[in-house]
Amino acid sequence: MDNRDAAAGTALAIDMTIEAGGWPPEEALGELARRAVAAASAVTKMDTPHTLGILFTEDEEIRALNARFRGKDKPTNVLSFPAPDNAGLPGGPPHLGDIALAYGTVVREARAEGKPFDHHLSHLIVHGFLHLVGYDHETDREADEMEELERAVLKGLAIADPYA
């Protein structure tokens, strides 16, 4: 399923693909993704037009992507793939990149951490978005900066601090 929609309050168009079963209905996922991206865009002051892809898939697909692109042959919750400079359709806005999420891992983590599924999924979309706009957590300083941004975005969405 594909859903192209302008994220509310942002200059981003989100192209959603739901590849596996188990995910909430497309309309609910679209609203959750739009809210998360709009909040992250506001905090990072991203106001130039871009496109963004979000793939909602399953653990096996994420495992294959993780092995291929990161050399880690195991599932993970979210992967981000920043687009190369000047990516996008001719005459259209640049493509920011793509986020992929694994249903089984997201569900297991939410349950294990006692978090509502929607809150955990929103956090992971925000996390993936921040990677696409250049944030990382390879060093303690980078991790602190990225986590602080995540907290600020999630607070605006009335979602508790995921690191508390």
Domain positions in the chain: 2-156
Confidence of residue 134 (pLDDT cuts 50, 70, 90): very high
Say which range, 3-12, 119-128, 132-141, 145-154, has the weakest mean pLDDT.
3-12
Confidence of residue 5 (pLDDT cuts 50, 70, 90): very low
pTM, 2 dp: 0.90
pLDDT at site 1: 35
* d(C-alpha 122, C-alpha 89), whole Å: 28
pLDDT at site 2: 37
pLDDT at site 11: 66
pLDDT at site 91: 72
Report, as an integer, the average pLDDT of 82-89. 76
Q: How far apart are the first and last CA of the chain?
A: 35
Confidence of residue 70 (pLDDT cuts 50, 70, 90): very high
pLDDT at site 88: 65
* d(C-alpha 116, C-alpha 17), whole Å: 22
pLDDT at site 87: 67
* d(C-alpha 79, C-alpha 50), whole Å: 19
Predicted confidence (pLDDT) at residue 19 exceeds the cutoff of 50: yes
Q: Does domain 2-156 have CATH number 3.40.50.360?
A: no
In 38-77, at which residue ranges do the beta strands (DSSP E only) sit?
50-57
* d(C-alpha 79, C-alpha 99), whole Å: 6
Please give the full DSSP string across 94-107, using - where no structure is assigned: PEEEEEEEEHHHHH
To the nearest whole percent, how much of the chain has pLDDT over 90?
76
Pull the structure tokens for residue 151.
Answer: 């907290």
